[in-house]
Structure 1
Amino acid sequence: MDPMPEEQETRAAEPLTQWVQRIAHAVRAFDRRHPLPWDLTFTGFWVTAALIDYVGGGWENVARNKDVPASLLLTMSLGLSLPLLWRRTHPRAVLCAIAPMAIANAWSGAVLQAALLQLVIVYHIALRRPLRSLWWTTILVITPEFVTAARHSKKSWDEQVVPLLLSIALCAAIGITVRTRRDYTEALEDRARRLETERDQQARLAAAAERARIAREMHDIIGHNLSVITGLADGGRYAAARSPDRAAQALDAIAGTSRQALTELRRLLDVLREEDRPAADLTPQPALTDLDQLIDGVRKAGLPVSTTVHGTPAITPGRELTVYRVIQEALTNTLKHAGPGATSQIEMSYGDGGAVTVTVTDTGRGGDTDGTGGRGLPGMRDRTALYSGTLEAGPLPEGGWRVRLHLPEETPQ
């Protein structure tokens, strides 16, 4: 379907509008960086206009008194126009400097048109100063009109004062409008900057959380499997001299465990790739059904493990992963620190609403009490905190070590 004529006109007008906006933006940007050239140009224009009015005698067309000395006319022309150079930085001081010249202009009856330049100052006061300044500004600007009406009256005072009051109101309204627009634009720009900063902070936090998650998963995968491999290698070394068959079985178990670790590690590292693929689906997510395989591997490494289960597991996949990783880390620590001849026992109790309690005990020597020696216990506590659970880890009075995990019932959303 062909575009409507109105749409074609809009599309044709857009480049010109954008061009004008770019030019205006460039001019404003230059003015902010270098205000003096524009101030000199603006002031020079009005000084020239005031001098032309004085030299050319144009002021006589509206003068109430044509016998004003030339020196006074020159002084008033410069005094009413030259201070505009500082109108943006010191508008109130400029208005106070012009006021005596405006009163002298009204008293002498010259009625120079340069006196109307006070309206430019009114605009800048409305643009840059508190709005309450407009009260005394209006009084200061309107006073010469009362002087003219009292000393050189040709019209009623209201015919002279009311038009000037309307002009003052118009200039003030323009200044307030520009000021409101400027403040609104600055607020939008500030909000955009803050949103950009918050977005960058969110990205950094997300990246840090992802790095912590990957580091935790790599610790769980590599730490556990290396502990199993170490136990199998130690057992195979002792069995090599007496039972070559047992040594061969240990080597086969080491090879199987290594392949499993490499497979899980590759799947985890796939998450870091930038290619379009369902990376989340490839992330290793062990469940309770994988516990038997985990425990069999630990047993092959030489650690006797017994399990007791109370209730029927009915928990979410996230909780299953937490239970699996806590048991994995507890068994890994037992392999590392318990010493020869240690045994381990796992007791799992499932309640209503997804509640679960897991206790892993061993008869070994124990290890790092507060878990500051590595990522193991802090990682387990981080996982547990995700589900408002509690994790206790420490030595038993009669010897050995215990890790106890409790996840409360799930809160309905």
Structure 2
Amino acid sequence: MDLPFYDRINDTLRNIEADGLLKSERVLAGPQQAMVSVRSHDVLNLCANNYLGLAADPRVIAASVAAANRWGAGLASVRFICGTQEIHKTLEAAAAEYLGFEDSILFAAAFDANGAVFEPLLGAEDAIVSDSLNHASLIDGIRLSKARRYRFSNNDMADLDRVLAQARTEGARTILIVTDGVFSMDGTIANLGAIADLADRHGALTLVDDCHATGLLGPGGRGSLAYRGVEGRIDILTGTFGKALSGSMGGFVAARRSVIDLLRQRARPYLFSNALAPAICGAALAAIDIARGPDGDALRQRLERNTSRFRAGLQALGFELLPGEHPIVPVMLFDAHKAKHMADELLSLGIYVTSFSFPVVPHGLARIRTQMSAHFADDQIDHAINAFAQAGRTLEIIQ
């Protein structure tokens, strides 16, 4: 037993708590929906990625149960041994067709999809040009690749132009621009039109992580590519079924068929992880059908109205918000302790939110990241605004 090792672990935990950065789990006593039960109290959940409210939708649940009944609880195998069922191929085809790509490949999580995509496709002769605020899964996936790494300032097209020219001057064979479609902590939607133009100018490829856009942005909910009008101009898309498209789990990569074929041969999280459970596939298929149809249009319209109502209410109170139109609405508090106290005070008022601080966001940029859902009623949003007013005045954040 290495006692100094455990002493260091305990010291680190104490320091995390002293800095106001300790993250705790609150256990939900029921399904993920607008109102959730926490500590025997029903509270309004403003911190889920359940944008369309499909996580507890009866149609999605029924499809999940039906898939489990037909295909079993799981495969006990990776895909290439004996872990591929018809439902996996059906979901891959549905995701690709919905988002406008030739093919897609499933992973246990979107984190795995981003961890899998770079290493098989790019080598030491190539370059990856990554937005400085990209998701941690993209950062970790890029680290696994032997490609040279470059960064550009968040959503800064002049800086991207400069870095692309540098990568080309330094002899990169293939250049891949990598960006979130929506930056999850800020709610900023990437300037994909300008990115696609710069990719054309510099002869680069493009990859977009669209986890916070698929199902809720753009015509038919086809994501940030449709929202920015660049469908057909982006080479690789990664995404998830863990947010708007059922809220369950599982990720995917969509691209040209040859790219997907190579990932099936070389992507380690695909080769060495169990296949997605059939229930997850059934839920995702039902969610795609809802999202792309008239019910999806109605849900997105409601989501947009809810976002506008909530954002306007907080701004009128004097809270500092990051600008944007996405249903992610960050309330900036800057100090980690203050953000944590605000989250605790709101919970006591019936509003479930989480404070975000380092290392999830940079030092000095702590916040309450709120997220709207299509299933919130007007009176629930008004209740949330009133609770923010009361908590903000109690903690002297607003007047």
Q: TM-score, normalised by structure 2?
A: 0.21
Q: Which structure dedicates a bigger proportion of its chain to strand?
A: 2
Q: TM-score, normalised by structure 1?
A: 0.21
